[in-house]
Structure 1
Amino acid sequence: MAGRIGGAALAATLVTVLAGQASAEMFPIYRSDDYCLDTVGRPPKVMLDSPEMVACFNRESTAYVELNDIWAKVPDDIQGACYAEGRTKVETGAGSYARHLACTQREIADRSRPGTGMPVTDCDRLASRNGSDPLSLAPGFAMADIDHAKAISACEQALAERPKEGRFAYMLGRSLDAAGQYEKARQSYLQAVDLGEKRAFLNLGILSEEGRGVEADFAAAVAWYKKGADAGESGCQNNLAGLYLRGDGVEQSVEQALALYRQAFEHGDGEAAYNLGGMYEQANGVAADPATAVDYYRKAAAAGSANAQYELAQRHAKGDGVEKSAALAVVWYTKAAQQGLGSAQMDLGYAYDEGLGLSPEPAEAAKWYAKAADKGYNAARHNLALFYAEGKGVPKDPAKAVSLYRQAAEDGYSPSQTNLAVQLADGTGAPKDEVEALKWFKLAAEQDEPVAQFNLGVFYEDGRGIRASKKDAIAWYRKAAAQGHEKARLALDRLTGKKTRKKA
């Protein structure tokens, strides 16, 4: 079967029941204060002032200090609640901070933003905008993650009780938008605008730009974004900048885009800071400046941009312009994942799966894979299917594994096509069906999937699901062997009577 797929490199090594084990990409793991002593060596084997030990301590200290700077900003009562978690007591140092910070996200999600003086309603809890929106009274959700049935009911009730409160009309609009009831959503947003809720300008612009329920209309989007931008709505300034950058509905102008991104950033918009980082990284309208790009990414992440948080996570995982630290990567993956970013959910699942920056936790890995799978990430579907097939982190359920493989396979994902074929060929989780298995092996093999090519050779050699054909078996074994598949090479030698050379 195809092996578990990592988020950072989806073209991971594939395995079958006949083909050995895949190797996972590993990153440095700052797991405890004894990390360097355990990995570099304890005296007298290696002295504490040796170059290797000093370098390791420096890396460990950097990770610890950066995490400590973040942790220091967490309220004392939340720190206490997270320190009290039993599992955080087994680690010290940077690894424990990564866990404490992940716990912090859960704790904060249950609390409203302080200092507003307004009562937090069920409408706020169910339909607030996510990210660091200063006008939201609750942490909120990405629109795709709103439980729209509950949110619509709660916001209709809140608006009925307080019909002059623009935020309820706005959040009712978000709930209806999430449910695909776009015309009703538009009417709620218009009502919110009439009640002075400037955030609704952004949503009206998005409805027009993306053509939700109507034909896409960039001119209408520009009009709404300009109204919001003039009212100081940073999201409108950010989106209007994007239209200027692409020349959609307006004359293309990189200069105007930069000016709008900077205005939005001055209003605290994290996405605008993220986009400014991209401009400096890509030398788009400004001189290339990687250090400035990273600085903007940091500011954007701190302001709540899920995209920037994911960017920082990826950079910390690789050591790209920042300290290489799996623990810090986990912190930022967690922040972005909890805002509903599917790519971050996928990579956070992989971190829990492989123990990158924290101890492996299959149940947590399965939870995040499931969230990413719901957003259409085929690698997450594939990995979650492996969990159900193995009973890892979830109850063993071969039928559920087949269902997940099939979803990804029908989307053209070759590792899942291969595994689905194996399940069907063996009759595991579904009735045995060699004809259908042959179909999926062919589809994966045609995408140069070596495991599928080898198994397709087996099917042709044995006449499984098709008339036996030595010629076709040799052809598929040859393709798999050319990609380094050892069993295919041996099968090719057996059928041809020749010795094929191993690849270097």
Structure 2
Amino acid sequence: MFNKHGKFFSPSHLFAAALVYIVLAQAASAAFDADPERRVALVLGNSAYQRLEVLPNATKDVEEVATTLRKAGFDVTIGLNVDRLGLEDKVRTFLRAAHNAEVGLVYYSGHGIQVGGQNYLVPTDATLETAYDVETQTMPLDLILNHLKQNSRIQLVFLDACRNNPFNTGQYWVGEKLQPVSGATRGLARIDGNLGSLIAFSTAPGEVALDGAGTLSPYTEYFVKYASQPTKEVREVLTDVRRDVIAATKGRQVPWENSSLVDSFYFLKSPAPPKVEPMQQVSVAAGALSPQLALLAPRDQAGSDLTATISQAPLSGQIMLDGQVLTKGASFNATLLSGLVYDAKKVKAGTVDVIGYSVADPYRQSAQGMVAVTVVEDASAKLAQQQKATEDKSAIAKTHLAGLSREVAAEIGVGSVTAGLPQAPAAATDLVLKVAGLPEKGVVTVSGRTLDIGHQIGADELPQLGYEPAIGSENGSFKLALTAGTDLPDVAVTFKTALDPCDAAAAAPLDLQGVTAGRLPNEIDPATAIPACEKAVAAYPAVARFVYQLGRAQLANRDTKTAVKTFEKAISAGHVRATETLASLYSVGALGKRDAARSTKIVSAGAEKGDPFALYAYGKALYHGQGVEADINRGLRLMLQAADLGHTFAMNELGYIFLNGIKIDADPARAIAFYRAGVKRNDIYSMNNLALVYRFGKGGVPTDLDQARTYFEKAAAGGQPYAPTNLGRMYRDGIGVAADRVQAIKWLEMGAERGDYWGAFDRAQLAKASGSTELVTAARYFALASAVNMPGTGDKDDQAAKNLAALPNAAKKDAEKLLSDQLTPQERKALPKAASINERLVQLAKAGWVKRNPRYDLF
């Protein structure tokens, strides 16, 4: 916005009078110590480009990749045909999920470009028409990779991108430099990862990949093929992919990777070997062909096709399957084991015969089983006993399974939630269930392994069945379906996902350790948030975000001292945003004298961890030399990183810098590009700043008073504190509208009530100009203006205080009574003793304004 001299302000300069309460704008969120086996993946595919070449295979590619990765136990965040805002949202969701993960994986299929040696993912709405479009329209890959390095042990990045470089101009801004794009620039730039990273390209650095003539791109086709093969290490996967892609493209495309992995990584490990009942006993009648032996089926965790092989044929009788005699070495599908029969036509009663068999899975793992066949004169009694036992077991199994279907509440971000299934009765422990349907989001595990369609679960394992909901899936309903076979009821466990009440009440925006979009500070109800977060901290002591959110609720309750101690606990527990919040308390003087150096030192730790608020705050401090030696280039880069993650304060700060040429050559068009980016995110500060561009004509944009008024009105409707003042001035001066004193008063008073110095000052000036009849109103608003004045947002000379001092004492006495009536006797008594009636008026105006609970987060 402009001050009275017409200078733009960034929103970082808008934090007004509320001192202690301003820190409420910098808030809270999430993290927990994840299972060391947790795998997360971001899978992005862009085909339907609006202004660039369409890539038909990209979305098909990533759908196949997502399916493959889910089978490998990854919690997948998938984005198809995402524009810039959608890309931003998917990246933030993924980075939240990646916190403390064992493996973080990114697979991107679509347009990718390199500028200045850096790689960028190109969303579907990119135009790349102006020099400002890379930094406002694309997503730097390094931003994602750097976050993964901070938050996961292994980083895997697969880029089936760079089909071509769709540049529409010859140069782009990248940080502090305008980088030229030569006609020779092709493909993506080489990336060097740190220890634990693997970066794979569908083609060599600087080269162009092919979209392919089939349903998938060549690279993705072979990646899916080989990553789906168990026991194949990732570097072996990529070797096989490279060989087949070279062959398929006749050498035109050569995949490339750079690995600094120090451990082996397998997408799919071999499952446990099949489980076979080691010894089964059956009785058959002498001189007859037995009924089916009804042998217990082998159990295989992955539900693989198993092969049974006769390793020992009976010595006296014969075993048969579908009328065919089986001899040693005969093999068949293991599901047919229960259909074996024993031919005892020539076997005497009293004979005990033995059958041996092995069961093997596709990974050459096997288990051995034996069957003891007792031949008796009359097997009817034994068979009846066995039949009765089978029927009893079936009845018990039916009863047990019928009671298992249920709904389970699953809180997000607290780890795996048990389904609460009971222990199976002894007669049903050998029952095997197959996974027939899985939740579309989140990960289901049993006994420490991740389940997929077709996997098998023993009834004895059901109490260990758990579900970890995906971040971003709140208020969802996700079903796990299990089937036990013919004549047995299916089991359906429906997981109802929800936020913990502490997250719902006190989470913060843009917290990459969080689980939800969060609340603005003024939206926190301490009466609800404090008990909810106290309960969450007690229930989940290892979840650092709950500690931080408790501090945020305490701060909303204006209990600053307690909140500071809670923030320090959250920092010790590893919560990154807590560093920025604590730093902001020192920055605004809420803990005593303002201490910019201490604030900057604290927030630098949060910036190192990639928190958007900390990146912005530390970047701004570096750029302007606030509490730290100035480093313009680094400060600029950090603020650009915050903007890449959707932090609109950073966008407006950058706009302010570029528009006014703060320590850099002025570039109004670049400033306006950032303001427009903020408007796309419904940011009220960007709306106000863009309105000022139209109001005064900036950066080659002609004056457009209708557009200015429209954006001022939108910003004001969203609660922006200075837009009402700007509207009030238009109505006061008849600029773009008919002069209207009533409308001017309405808007100026709205700005004043929101804490805008100039709104209160201009309202007071209007009253003063009306003569003696409105001098009391003038005194009230001059006092309020002085009360909310703050360096950087108000008037360093405090003209309001000077004008107040010049008013007649009679008017000030009447104003004092009006302001006093807004407070209780106890509230008036709590105010410090004033040296003059002018000081008393300012105290009363400030106390009344605070009592009305203004939106401190808006300054």
TM-score where L is the length of structure 2:
0.31
TM-score where L is the length of structure 1:
0.49
Q: Which structure: larger Rg?
A: 2
Bigger proportion of residues as strand: 2
